[in-house]
Structure 1
Amino acid sequence: MISELRVGVVGVGQRASLATLVDRSGRAKVVSCADPDPRGRHDARELFGPDVTIHEQYPQMLDDHLHAVFVLTPDHLHTRPVVWFLEAGVAVFVEKPLAITVEDCDLLLSTARRTGTPLYVGHNLRHLPTLRRMRALIDEGTIGRVRAVWCRHFVGHGGDYYFKDWHAERAKTTGLLLQKGAHDLDVIHWLAGGYSRRVVAQGALAVYGTNPRRSAESGGTGGRRMPDWFDPGGWPPAALQDLNPVIDVEDLSMMLTRLDNGVLTSYQQCHFTPDYWRNYTVLGDEGRLENFGDGVDGAPATIKVWNRHRSGYRQDADLEVPIVPSTAAHGGADAAVVAEFLHFAAVGGPTETSPVAAREAVAAAVAATASLRANGMPMTVPELDPELVHYFDE
């Protein structure tokens, strides 16, 4: 047992506020940060106080005697620092998605196994109250045996969030089915109790690809970050300004999957809707359940269950479960995922998140992205080495 964890942060950018929850935990403190960008180094001081040690390069952080580290870099830059700290025996929290290729995911898992170093992936939606209640209803047998899961993700702020910086480039994300969808695919697998093995998908760059209002600078932002340009009143989507000069990811995607346990799933993602929320429908052989609102950022949410008798359309459900709204980040899920990681780094034990599940979400997204770019050709999702599965299960 470590009385107080010494924690580092690699990449002090848009998600760095997540690491501020470390100091509030009472069991750990951020003592070291690294970022090659002068703004990141400046923000490290603002976020973590005057005593934090700040570096330009993450290898220098080993001099600060860390127990754990948060890797919060852009997605395509996860792999090297994660491997570096795993090799050094420092417990790693890596932001989702785990990586942007299956090969890199498997490298990270095999490195964690070889070194015995704790690896944790920040799939915070597993701690979202709405989804935890849905999972509990499934486990209680409320709808019988799960036979299908559907998810529709209305990404109302997609233009501001994903098409004005590096997220818009395949080279840095693979695609938004991976970068944005890894969240949802992990939840779909979690609710369904299995992993995708066969996928087919269609998609298009339907709105933002023809927008000529591009930034002249690489990255599309002139060194700014999403909160600097975010405008919730920007409408319609096609009128947005200062898009990334390179846009080669899809803004509309749809995929179908068959899981290894026979459950069928579907996932739809749209980045130009007027509303922003996730809707999950779970179909069992004795009923169905569905969320209305997702409880993120203080929004109300209700889970409805129909499971008592057949009928025509009816808005009323046989069971309605209201979710108490929370203004905490992601409905309190961010605080929960940080607390779980700190406990895991200090004493080990089981966690709600799973490196294997994080890899499987990436693998499903990579296969689906390949399918949609091959005009809907069916794709097989490669299975993980059974020895790695066994290691992380144990």
Structure 2
Amino acid sequence: MNDGKDFRIGIMGFGLRANLAQYAHQPGAGSRVVLVADVQARGRADAVERIPGVEVVAEVDALLARRDELDAVLVLTPDHLHAEHATRALEVGLPTFVEKPIATTLEDADRMLAAAARTGTRLYVGHNMRHMPVVVAMRRVIEAGTIGDVKAIWCRHFVSAGGDFYFKDWHADRSNTTGLLLQKGAHDLDVIHWLAGGYTSTVSAVGALSVYGSITDRRDNSDRRMRDWYSLDNWPPTEQKDLHPVVDVEDISQANLVLDNGVLASYQQCHYTPDYWRNYTVIGTRGRLENFGDGPGAQVKVWTRRTDAYTPDADEVIEIPAVDDAGHGGADPLLMAEFVRYARDGGPTLTSPIAARQAVAAGIAATESLRSGGGAVGVAPLAPRVAAWFENGQRRTA
């Protein structure tokens, strides 16, 4: 390793999640982005503009050819390319950060985890919501036993930005994402699993392409970036323009989950709401909690006494403070700091490659269910030998 010097990081893909580079590039403070690979000239130009002194190449091959100049790599390419690019980085022994979701098929996710286990290379998946203050606050209430044993979790996800975020570029094509219950839902499915202390075993779901499928104004936006078209003025949803030529993912969906520890959960997602936030309700044997807002200024309310009506005056109210850095409520810098520390030194992490895989597996099973009549679909298990590697902290056993 690069002992005594900045940890040297390469980046594959400089597009939608390139904002993570600012937290990885901390020269003099422990880490430095030294090399970026992006097939698009715009991505390479953005990297040069935003990262002083960085070198850029057009192909992943060119980045991997300079493996000896790197201590770790961030895989920020589109979701359907994660497995190919991460597996190749793992095969050459580079500790690897993969943006969530870990993959868009279970085969790809398992291939990536198997490569990490086989090569003994550290793998980290960027589930930044585990660092979001509102999620951390809810988990602390649960861990304290305030609401007793968790028995049910409900999550409603309102996505006002759906038309701009997911229906104007590659996200709209299921061949790139499988569906938004996976691509978007993997974030919340992971949080549900984390709060519940278990993983989904069976799931049933319904969904539809209820608004954006009927919009005929289409355009190939590969020459643009999201910030080129995103606007709050793109409203109402039925008047969206310049949608992707292929739109075949659902814009509304609802999934019911049975977890392996008996917890029941539900997840609802809509991509044409006027507001944008997540609302969780967690019910235990001694009370319940609910968040109101999910960013700075939000509240987590906890009720632990029986009443005969709803009361907004909860027994405990946790205020979510503002942070200097607004990257997902301050989660993004914490996420990157944890990855750099883990890639360099090892040790425990809030995130988990197994959990990332299980979130994708639940999203895939839910998508299969909603596209085949809504019946219950089981979640395939991870190979025991691979699971053992990660359960042992990605360390070899004697």
1:43 counterpart (23, 43, 46)? 46
d(CA) in 2 for partners of 1:140, 1:233: 44
What letter is aligned with 1:303?
Answer: V
Detail structure 1 runs of 4+ shifted over 4 Å in the superposition: none
2:346 counterpart (339, 348, 355)? 348
Counterparts of residues 1-394 of structure 1 (less than 5 Å): 2-3=3-4, 4-24=6-26, 26-49=29-52, 51-62=53-64, 63=66, 65-215=69-219, 217=220, 221-295=221-295, 299-326=296-323, 327-394=325-392
What letter is aligned with 2:114?
Answer: S
Deviation at 1:233, TM superposition (A): 2.0
What letter is aligned with 1:177?
Answer: L
Deviation at 1:24, TM superposition (A): 2.6
Equivalent residue of 1:200, what SS?
strand
d(CA) in 2 for partners of 1:223, 1:361: 32
Equivalent residue of 1:329, what SS?
coil
Equivalent residue of 1:185, what SS?
helix
Deviation at 1:357, TM superposition (A): 0.1
d(CA) in 2 for partners of 1:273, 1:282: 23
Superposition RMSD in Å: 1.1
Residue correspondences, number = 386
d(CA) in 1 for partners of 2:25, 2:39: 23
Q: Does the CA contact (< 8 Å) of 2:169 and 2:222 recur in 1?
A: no
d(CA) in 1 for partners of 2:209, 2:85: 32
Equivalent residue of 2:16, what SS?
coil
What letter is aligned with 2:211?
Answer: V
Structure 1 segments unaligned to the other structure (5+ residues): none
Q: Which moved more, 1:281-290 or 1:305-314?
A: 305-314
Deviation at 1:222, TM superposition (A): 4.3
Deviation at 1:208, TM superposition (A): 0.3
Distance 1:325 1:364, change over 3 A: same
Equivalent residue of 1:362, what SS?
helix
Q: Which moved more, 1:56-65 or 1:135-144?
A: 56-65
Structure 2 segments unaligned to the other structure (5+ residues): 393-398
**What is the identity percentage for the equivalent residue pairs of Structure 1 and Structure 2?**
55
Q: Which moved more, 1:320-329 or 1:331-340?
A: 320-329
Q: Which moved more, 1:307-316 or 1:83-92?
A: 307-316
Q: Does the CA contact (< 8 Å) of 1:252 and 1:269 recur in 2?
A: yes
Deviation at 1:74, TM superposition (A): 0.5
User: What TM-score comes out, normalization by structure 1 length?
Assistant: 0.96
Deviation at 1:43, TM superposition (A): 1.0
d(CA) in 2 for partners of 1:180, 1:306: 30
What letter is aligned with 1:306?
Answer: W
Equivalent residue of 1:331, what SS?
coil
d(CA) in 2 for partners of 1:369, 1:189: 18
d(CA) in 2 for partners of 1:32, 1:222: 24
d(CA) in 2 for partners of 1:389, 1:308: 41
Q: Deviations over 1:160-212 (max 9, x none)?
A: 00000000000000000011000000000000000001100000001000011
Q: Deviations over 1:290-314 (max 9, x none)?
A: 000001xxx4200001112232121
Deviation at 1:41, TM superposition (A): 1.1
